[in-house]
């Protein structure tokens, strides 16, 4: 198949070659500088899986330069924070952590401190770093991920601070090395950017317009992941349902799913995030007929009230949303549905918030990601009148969580005594000889087992449901 992705340009082979030349030069510099143990890098990622996937590509490039990775900041010669701009809280944490590096850097003068990701695409953030964090050596935005070698080379040679935050056409860099944190649960970006401009959201401003990877690139990477032992592949994009729009090929998102489903191997397919406005019956029918697609749909509705949805510029109504869920359940009766919600959008009244509560009761979600509205620089909602005090929004937020906990507890009870296939993911946080597995519907179950089971599919019978926490036994 030969595909030209019209409005989805890729970084030229010459440019990729130029970057690899910088990698070679850096390798020599680092070998001389750290002859014994080699250079160490600490990379911390905030925010969504899109950022996690970017970090894997940045780490891939660092590994080629000779870096090994450490979880201890103080041990690192290169510290990188890949940042998130979606809510103020995430930004505050980044500034807090960068502030905490000052004494570390005073002790270790040649440590390189770098910041990248969505926050860096915002002018006011860049200004603040220039002004108040003089010990940060390198700042780059979401459009410069493949240029890490060139940028780091400049820092290593010049000693000057380097800022690279310009917006480009968003050329997609294919063929970057990828350093994957896990070898059985893997991320596969299929598109970048967003065209939706939901009125509260900063993503379209910091990630640029929608660009899709060519289908043959996606399929080639999927094959590679399967050969590496992937048991679960999650397709990533801000709005995966827009995959392939503006491209000369005719592979839309459902077609892409089917192509991956048809690849041989013992793996499951997940995807996120799906936007209700572009979620079609074709997609739901495809999910239903593809045996490798997990029975899980993450479909953020944000608000259950039509006026608020309109102000949010979401492009669907409460009725449209319920219609989609009904259709999904008619073709996949066991589908698990999760969602994102914003509480306290500017101008939202108590009655309108109650529409969100009633939608939750009606749909009965498996789980919810709930956020209090956070005003973001440059977005339309930032300048909307907002009369509800934060303390009141917090009360609504708690009320919503309580409702969801009751629903989740009922759902957990209904799972008692039943057996589920889970992908064993990790030890439990307590590391008490127990493991955590995730069902097809994205529900965690803890059980006793040996760590050698991590990365395998196992059958677990649910024996205990304590509120919304499930535990079970291996069958």
194 binds ligand SF4 (CB under 6 A): yes
Q: Does 196 bind ligand SF4 (CB under 6 A)?
A: yes
Is 275 a binding residue for ligand SF4 by CB under 6 A? The answer is: yes
Q: Is 198 in the site for ligand SF4 (CB under 6 A)?
A: yes
Q: What residue 197 binds from ligand SAH, ligand SF4, none (CB within 5 to 8 A, per partner kind)?
A: ligand SF4
Does the footprint of ligand SF4 cover residue 238 (CB under 6 A)? Answer: yes
Each residue 233-262 as x (binds ligand SAH by CB under 6 A) or -, in order, gives: -----xx-----------------------
Q: Which is nearer to ligand SF4, 369 or 390 (CB)?
A: 369
- According to CB under 6 A, which one of 141, 204, 276, 455 is a site residue for ligand SF4? 204
From the list ligand SAH, ligand SF4, none, partner contacted by residue 342 (C-beta under 5 to 8 A by kind): ligand SAH
Rank residues 52 and 86 by Cβ distance to ligand SAH and give the closer one.
86
| Three-class DSSP labels, the chain | CCCCCCCCCECCHHHHHHHHHHHHHHHHHHHHHCCCCCCEEEEEECCCHHHHHHHHHHHHHHHHHCCEECCCHHHCCEEEEEECCCCHHHHHHHHHHHHHHHHHHHHCCCCEEEEEEHHHHCHHHHHHHHHHCCCCCEEECCCCHHHHHHHHHHHHHHCCCEEECCCCCCCECCCCCCCCCCCCEEEEECEECCCCCCCCCCHHHHHCCCEECCHHHHHHHHHHHHHCCCCEEEEECCCHHHCCCCCCCCCCHHHHHHHHHCCCCCCEEEEECCCHHHCCHHHHHHHHHCCCECCEEECCCECCCHHHHHHCCCCCCHHHHHHHHHHHHHHCCCCEEEEEEEECCCCCCHHHHHHHHHHHHHHCCCEEEEEECCCCCCCHHHHCCCCCCHHHHHHHHHHHHHHHHHHHHHHHHHHCCCEEEEEEEEECCCCCCEEEEEECCCCEEEEECCHHHCCCEEEEEEEEEECCEEEEEEC
Piece of 34-42, 53-61, 373-381, 395-403 that binds ligand SAH (CB under 6 A): 373-381
* Per CB under 6 A, 66 contacts ligand SF4: no
Q: Minimum distance between the CB of residue 46 and ligand SAH, rounded to whole angstroms?
A: 13
Question: Using CB distances below 5 to 8 A depending on partner kind, what does residue 371 bind out of ligand SF4, ligand SAH, none?
Answer: ligand SAH
Q: Which is closer to ligand SF4, CB of 239 or CB of 366? A: 239
Q: Contacting ligand SAH (CB under 6 A), which of 62, 65, 293, 342? A: 342
- Based on the shown chain and the rule CB under 6 A, indicate whether residue 209 belongs to the binding site for ligand SAH: no
270 binds, among ligand SF4, ligand SAH, none (CB under 5 to 8 A by kind): none
Binding residues for ligand SAH, how many (CB under 6 A)?
Answer: 17
Distance CA 285, CA 268 (A): 17
Tell the smallest beta-carbon distance from residue 245 to ligand SAH (Å): 15
Does 239 help bind ligand SF4 (rule: CB under 6 A)?
yes
275 binds ligand SAH (CB under 6 A): yes
- Interacting residues with ligand SAH between 66 and 125 (CB under 6 A): 86-87
Residue numbers at the binding site for ligand SAH (CB under 6 A): 86-87, 200-201, 203, 238-239, 273, 275, 300, 302, 340, 342, 371, 373-374, 376
Residue numbers at the binding site for ligand SF4 (CB under 6 A): 194, 196-198, 201, 203-204, 238-239, 275
């Amino acid at each position: 198949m030969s595909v030209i992705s019209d409005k989805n340009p890729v970084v030229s082979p010459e440019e990729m070659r130029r970057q690899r030349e910088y990698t070679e030069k850096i390798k020599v510099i680092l070998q001389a500088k750290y002859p014994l143990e080699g250079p160490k890098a600490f990379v911390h990622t905030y925010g969504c899986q899109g950022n996690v996937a970017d970090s894997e590509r940045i780490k891939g490039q660092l590994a080629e330069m000779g870096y090994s990775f450490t979880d201890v900041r103080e041990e690192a010669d290169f510290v990188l924070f890949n940042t998130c701009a979606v809510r103020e809280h995430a930004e505050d944490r980044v500034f807090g952590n960068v502030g905490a590096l000052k004494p570390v850097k005073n002790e270790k003068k040649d440590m390189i401190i770098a910041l990248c990701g969505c926050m860096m695409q915002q002018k006011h953030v860049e200004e603040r770093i220039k002004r108040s964090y003089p010990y940060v050596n390198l700042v780059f935005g979401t459009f410069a991920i493949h240029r890490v070698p060139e940028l780091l080379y400049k820092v290593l040679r010049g000693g000057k601070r380097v800022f690279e935050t310009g917006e480009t056409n968003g050329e997609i860099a294919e063929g970057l090395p990828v350093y994957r944190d896990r070898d059985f649960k893997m991320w596969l970006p299929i598109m970048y950017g967003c065209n939706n401009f939901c009125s509260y959201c900063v993503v379209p401003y910091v990630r640029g317009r929608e660009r899709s990877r060519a289908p043959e690139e996606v399929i080639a990477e999927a094959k590679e992941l399967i050969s590496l032992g992937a048991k679960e592949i999650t397709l990533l994009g801000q709005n995966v349902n827009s995959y392939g729009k503006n491209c000369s090929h005719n592979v839309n998102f459902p077609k892409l799913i089917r192509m991956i489903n048809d690849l041989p191997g013992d793996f499951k397919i997940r995807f996120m995030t799906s936007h209700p406005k572009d979620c079609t019956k074709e997609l739901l029918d495809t999910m239903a007929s593809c045996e490798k697609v997990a029975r899980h749909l993450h479909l953020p509705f944000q608000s259950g009230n039509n006026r608020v949805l309109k102000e949010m510029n979401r492009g669907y109504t409460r009725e449209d949303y319920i219609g989609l869920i009904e259709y999904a359940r008619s073709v996949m009766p066991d589908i698990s549905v999760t969602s994102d919600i914003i509480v306290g959008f500017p101008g939202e009244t108590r009655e309108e918030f109650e529409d969100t509560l009633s939608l939750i009761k009606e749909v009965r979600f498996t789980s919810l990601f709930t956020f209090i509205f956070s005003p973001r620089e440059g977005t339309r909602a930032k300048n909307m009148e907002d009369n509800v005090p934060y303390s009141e929004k917090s009360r609504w937020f708690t009320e919503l969580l309580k409702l969801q906990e009751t629903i989740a507890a009922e759902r957990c009870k209904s799972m008692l005594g039943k057996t589920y296939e889970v992908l064993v993911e990790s030890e439990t946080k307590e590391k008490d000889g127990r493991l955590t597995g995730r069902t097809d519907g994205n529900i965690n179950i803890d059980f006793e087992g040996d760590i050698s089971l991590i990365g395998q599919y196992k059958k677990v019978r649910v024996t205990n449901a304590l509120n919304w926490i499930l535990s079970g036994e291996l069958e």
